[in-house]
Amino acid sequence: MLKEIKENWRDLFATAPQTLDRVKAVDTAVTAFNVNVDAVLKISGQRLSELVKSAGMSLAELQDIRQAKLLESQDVLKGIFKCFSAGIAEEWLTEDKVIYNWMIEHLGYDRLQMGGQGGIVANVLGIIGVKKVIAHTNSHPKEQAEQFLKLDNIVSFDENGREKPSYQINRSQDTPLIHWIIEFDKGDKAVIDGQTFTCPKSNRFIATYDPLNLKLVMDQHFVAATNSIKADYVVLSGMHALTANNNGVALVEKVLPIINAWHKYGAIVHLEIASTQDIEVRKAILQKLATNCDSTGINERELIDILEVVGEEKLARQCQENCHAENLFRALLKVKEILKTPRIQLHFFGLYLTVQNKSFRITPEQNRNGMILASTIAAGKAGTGDINHKENLLWALGKDVSDVGLEELKTISDIIEDENLLKTGISQYAGFDIIAVPTILVEKPKTLVGMGDTISSISLIGAR
C-alpha cells in the first residue's frame, strides 16, 4: 500500500519545477525585521580546553552560570562549555562591544554567512525568483552587504533612503551585527582541570552581539517605503529576542500599525513565530501580532511554547512526551482555534501541516504546490549545503518522500478518516482545510541553520 502511495507522491512532487517557474509572477515581497551576519565557527574540544586554560578559569568557575547572558567575556566560554558538554543548543546575547571585540580577537570564525530570519528569507525569495524582494536592514555596512546574494532583485535602503540592490549598499557608519554560531561535534572531548568531558550530540552555541535587533531598531526609510506600496507578501520575524525588561512588550506593540499599513494595500502578512524565551514577549507576539497576521509558521518546539502560554499546559506536556503526528495535530487545531490566524503551518520531522480557513485567499491545491516546492528545496539545501546557486534548488527532484513522513501523514488521515489526505495531501476537518506534505529526508544534512525560515517562506510564496 505504502508503495502505491509513494508513487502517488512521486507524481505530485514532479510538479515542483513548474511551481518554481510560477514564482516569477510574484511582483513584490517584503522581509522584516532581523538581519545580521552569522560568523560560523567549528570549535574542537581541544581548542575549547586551551581557551579556558588561557582565560585562567577553573572548572568550578566555568560551571558557575548565574544568567544565560554574556555579561563578560568569560561568559562566552561558560556558554560554549555548557552546550558542548550537554550537546544542547542555546543563544546568549550581549550589547557590550568589549565582549564583541574579545570574540573577534580570541574566537575568530571559519566563514561569514547571512543570518537572522529576515536576511535568510530575503536571500531565499530572491533566488527562487520573486521579481522584487525588499529587505529590512537596521545595520548595513559592507560586511552585511556581502551576505546578500549578488542579485539585483533583492533591495534595501542606503543612508539617504535610496533603494538599491542590498549587496551594493555600504552604510559605512553602521556596526556589523555579528552572531557567532559555534558548532561542535558529537564524541569530541574537552579536558578541563584534568577532567574529560565528551560531547554527547553535535550542536551549536550562539553568542550574539546585537544592540539593534535586541531593541527592534527599524530603518525608517524601509518602514515609510513599504507602508506606501502594494506588496504581495510580507514575511515578518525578529521579535523573538526581545525581553520584557528591555521594553519588549511595547516594542512588539509598535509593530501593529505597520502591519495594518501593509494590510491596507492587500499584502498577505506571514509571521514566523520563532523560539521566544521571554514569556511576556511570547504572549504579546501571540496576542498582538499572530492574531493580526494572515499566516504564521512554527515548528514543533514553538507549538509547545505556544501551548504553554495559552493555558494548554497539559497538551504541551503530551506533545513533549510524544512529539508525533497525533498529538501535534490536536495541538495545532487547538492553537488555530485560540489564535484564529487564518492560516497556520507547522513543520516537524517528516511532515509539513497547514490548517487554514475555508475562505482563505490561497486554495488548498496552491498550498500543496508551495509545500511540495518547499520540501524539495529544503532537501536541496540540506543535501548541498546552501541554496545560493539556482542549480541547487531542485537538487532533490526525483527523490522519494520519506517513510517517516508517510507514516505521520497516515496517522493524521486515520484520525480524520479520509484517505484522500494520505493520497493527495488535501482534506477538510473541523471546518478547516487541511493540507499535509511529507518531506524528503537527507541522511547527513550539510546544514540546518535557517531551515524553518526557508520552509515557511517557500510554502507560502510558492503556493501558486
Is 285 near ligand GLC (CB under 6 A)? no
Among residues 177 and 421, whose Cβ is nearest to ligand GLC?
Answer: 177
Spatial neighbors of 349 by CB under 8 A, at least 6 apart, are 300, 404, 408
Q: Which of 317, 303, 297 is nearest to 124 (CA)?
A: 297
Q: Pairing state of beta strands 343-348 and 295-299?
A: parallel
Minimum CB separation from ligand GLC for residue 409, in Å? Answer: 26
Among residues 59 and 451, whose Cβ is nearest to ligand GLC?
Answer: 451
Cell output for 132: 522584487
- Give the separation between CA 186 and CA 294, rounded to whole angstroms: 40
Q: Which range touches ligand GLC (CB under 6 A), out of 23-31, 73-81, 113-121, 423-431?
A: 113-121
Minimum CB separation from ligand GLC for residue 450, in Å? Answer: 5
Is 38 near ligand GLC (CB under 6 A)? yes
Q: Which of 49, 94, 103, 115 binds ligand GLC (CB under 6 A)?
A: 115
- Give the separation between CA 452 and CA 225, rounded to whole angstroms: 28
- Give the separation between CA 340 and CA 290, rounded to whole angstroms: 9
Cell output for 398: 526525483
Size of the site for ligand GLC (CB under 6 A): 12
- Give the separation between CA 130 and CA 231, rounded to whole angstroms: 11
Among residues 57 and 154, whose Cβ is nearest to ligand GLC?
Answer: 154
Is 440 near ligand GLC (CB under 6 A)? no
Is 138 near ligand GLC (CB under 6 A)? no
Residue with C-alpha cell 539545501?
A: 381
Q: Which of 28, 49, 117, 427 binds ligand GLC (CB under 6 A)?
A: 117
Spatial neighbors of 236 by CB under 8 A, at least 6 apart, are 32, 33, 255, 259, 269, 270, 271, 272, 289, 293
Within residues 175-234, the interface with ligand GLC by CB under 6 A covers: 179, 206, 208
Q: What single string gives the DSSP state of each residue in 89-117?
A: -EEEEE--HHHHHHHHHHT--SEEEEESH
Minimum CB separation from ligand GLC for residue 119, in Å? Answer: 7
Q: What is the largest CA-CA distance in the chain?
A: 65
Minimum CB separation from ligand GLC for residue 111, in Å? Answer: 13
Among residues 83 and 436, whose Cβ is nearest to ligand GLC?
Answer: 83
Minimum CB separation from ligand GLC for residue 42, in Å? Answer: 16
Is 450 near ligand GLC (CB under 6 A)? yes
The contact set with ligand GLC (CB under 6 A) reads 36, 38, 91, 115-117, 179, 206, 208, 449-450, 453
